[in-house]
Amino acid sequence: MNMNEPNEPATGGSTRQTGPVILDLKNISLSFGGVKALTDISFDVRQHEIRAIIGPNGAGKSSMLNVINGVYRPQQGEIVLRGEHRKNMDCHGAAKAGIARTFQNIALFKGMTVLDNIMTGRNLKMKSNFLMQALYWGPARREELAHREKAEEIIDFLEIQAIRKTPVGRLPYGLQKRVELGRALAAEPDILLLDEPMAGMNVEEKQDMCRFILDVNDQFGTTIVLIEHDMGVVMDISDRVVVLDYGKKIGDGTPDEVRSNQNVINAYLGVAH
Ligand SMILES: Nc1ncnc2c1ncn2[C@@H]1O[C@H](COP(=O)(O)OP(=O)(O)OP(=O)(O)O)[C@@H](O)[C@H]1O
C-alpha cells in the first residue's frame, strides 16, 4: 500500500477524504493465561478516518484499544505508528505520540469540577512543575492561564459552559460522557480512541455525541477509532469498520461491505461456530 497516496472518499455513510495510513496493527495476538483475547488481528487506520471496531460482547474490542494505547502488551505482532515499528506501546509513549482515549466506564474525578477534570487532560502539555511554579511564579502563572484558556475553548466547543463549575459526580451520565470526551480533547490528540462513547445514552444524547464526534473529526482533523454497539451510529458515521468475534477478525471494510458480509451476519445472529 502506498503510504503517501490520499484515499478515495469512503463509500459508506461518509464522503470524508481520508489520508495515508497513520496506524497499522499487524498480526496482533494477546492472551490472558488460557484466554485468547486477540488472535492474529491486522487492520490499519488512515489519517482523518473514522474507524469503528464492532463485535459481540467479549469479542476483544476493548483489548484492541488497550493494545493501541499501551495498557496491554501483545505477545505477538507489531504496531506501526506513522511508519515507526514497535512491538508494543506504553501509555505515556502513546499519549506523547498524540493518542488519547475515553473509557467504557467513565474515568473522571467525580469530586472535581468539569473545568478541573478537563484541565487534567492538559497535564502532558504543561511544562512547569511544582518547583518551577514556586521559583518562577510569573511564567508558571502565564502557562496555567494559557491552559485554562484551552480548556475553556473545549468547554465552549462541547456546549457545557453552564456546568463548567459543577462537580462531575453530580452530572447525568450523558453529560459525564461528554466531559470525558472533553478531557481527551484537552490533550489535542491526533488519534482519539473512544470506547463506547454512546453507551447508556438516550436518543437525544446519542445524537449530540454523534454530532460532537463528527465535529471533532471535521474541525480538528482528528483521526477517530471507536468501539460502539449502536449499529445505526456505526454505519452512519464510520468510513470503515473492522469486525471482531471471539478475538478473531471476521470482517473489514466500508459499512456497506461489512453489512453484507455473511460471517458478520452470522456472528450477529448468533449462528453456531
Ligand atoms: N485484564 C484481563 N484479564 C483477563 N481476561 C481479560 C482481560 N481483559 C479482557 N479479558 C478477556 O478477553 C476477552 C475479550 O475482552 P474485551 O473486553 O476486549 O471484549 P469486548 O469486545 O470489549 O467486550 P464488551 O463488548 O463486552 O466490552 C474476554 O474473554 C475477556 O474476558
At 131 the pLDDT is: 58
Residues 154 and 224 both lie in one domain: no
Pocket test for ligand 1, best of 30, 31, 32 (most atoms within 8 A of CB): 32
DSSP characters over 222-240: -EEEEE-S-HHHHHHH-SE
Q: Are 227 and 194 in contact (CB under 8 A)?
A: yes
pLDDT band at 132 (very low <50, low <70, confident <90, very high): low
pLDDT band at 138 (very low <50, low <70, confident <90, very high): low
Residues 153 and 199 both lie in one domain: no
Residues 82 and 214 both lie in one domain: yes
Domain boundary residue, one of 186, 219, 243: 186
Residue type, position 65, single letter:
L
Q: Tell me the average pLDDT of the chain.
A: 88
At 11 the pLDDT is: 43
Least confident of 52-61, 97-106, 171-180: 97-106
pLDDT band at 130 (very low <50, low <70, confident <90, very high): low
pLDDT exceeds 60 at position 133: no
**C-alpha cell, 62:** 476493548
ipTM of the complex: 0.96
Residues 177 and 204 both lie in one domain: no
Domain boundary residue, one of 156, 186, 216: 186
Residues 117 and 73 both lie in one domain: no
Residues 155 and 181 both lie in one domain: yes
Question: Within a domain: residue 104?
Answer: no
- What's the average model confidence in pLDDT over 241-257? 96
pLDDT in tens, 18-32: 899 999 999 999 999
DSSP, collapsed to helix, strand or coil, labels residue 162 as: helix
Task: Indicate if ligand 1 lies below 6 Å from the C-beta of 200.
Answer: no
Residues 180 and 194 both lie in one domain: no
Angle at 40 between CA 38 and CA 46, to 5 degrees: 95
Q: Domain count of the chain?
A: 2
How long, in residues, is the chain?
A: 273
**C-alpha cell, 5:** 497516496
pLDDT exceeds 70 at position 125: no
Pocket test for ligand 1, best of 28, 30, 31, 35 (most atoms within 8 A of CB): 35
d(CA 7, CA 18): 5
Distance of CA 237 to the CA centre of its chain: 14
Residues 164 and 215 both lie in one domain: no
Residues 87 and 126 both lie in one domain: no
Residues 37 and 144 both lie in one domain: no
Q: Are 243 and 255 in contact (CB under 8 A)?
A: no
- What's the average model confidence in pLDDT over 65-94? 96
d(CA 192, CA 27): 22
pLDDT exceeds 70 at position 264: yes
pLDDT band at 262 (very low <50, low <70, confident <90, very high): very high
pLDDT in tens, 82-97: 999 999 999 999 999 9
Domain boundary residue, one of 163, 186, 209: 186
Range of the domain at 36: 1-98+189-273
pLDDT exceeds 60 at position 191: yes
At 271 the pLDDT is: 59
Task: Indicate if ligand 1 lies below 6 Å from the C-beta of 248.
Answer: no
Residues 52 and 119 both lie in one domain: no
